[in-house]
């Protein structure tokens, strides 16, 4: 196993359509993963290959918790700016 490849990749099925996408994922080329996975899902690939492609795609998306932290940060910025504006007299 290569140090550059995530461990979960070793468990994915070998397929001629999926292998280039896995290689792109390991290189960090997530744009190619997002572009090529829908074609694999629409193809006549086995359910196992489609599930592996969907897993690769899901691993390129941001963590849902990051949206919460972004929202809280924005709300804090608005609250502190409003407080500063109110105390400074507008």
What digits encode the pLDDT tens for the residues 28-85? 899 999 999 988 888 877 888 888 888 999 999 999 999 999 999 999 999 999 999 9
Question: End-to-end CA distance of the chain, in Å?
Answer: 62
> What's the pLDDT score for residue 1?
47
Strands (E) in 14-62, as ranges, are: none
Instruction: Indicate the pTM of the whole model.
Output: 0.69
Plot region of 44 (φ>0 → left; ψ -120 to 50 → alpha; else → beta): alpha
> What's the pLDDT score for residue 34?
93
Mean pLDDT (whole number) for 10-27: 88
> What's the pLDDT score for residue 17?
85
Distance CA 32, CA 2 (A): 21
């Amino acid at each position: 196993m290569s140090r550059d490849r995530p461990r979960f990749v070793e468990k994915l099925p070998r397929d001629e359509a999926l292998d280039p996408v896995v290689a792109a994922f390991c290189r960090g080329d997530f744009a190619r993963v997002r572009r090529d996975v829908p074609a694999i899902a629409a193809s006549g690939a086995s359910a196992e290959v489609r599930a592996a492609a969907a897993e690769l795609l899901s691993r390129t998306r941001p963590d849902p918790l990051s949206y919460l932290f972004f929202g809280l940060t924005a709300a804090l910025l608005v609250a502190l700016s409003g407080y500063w504006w109110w105390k400074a007299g507008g």
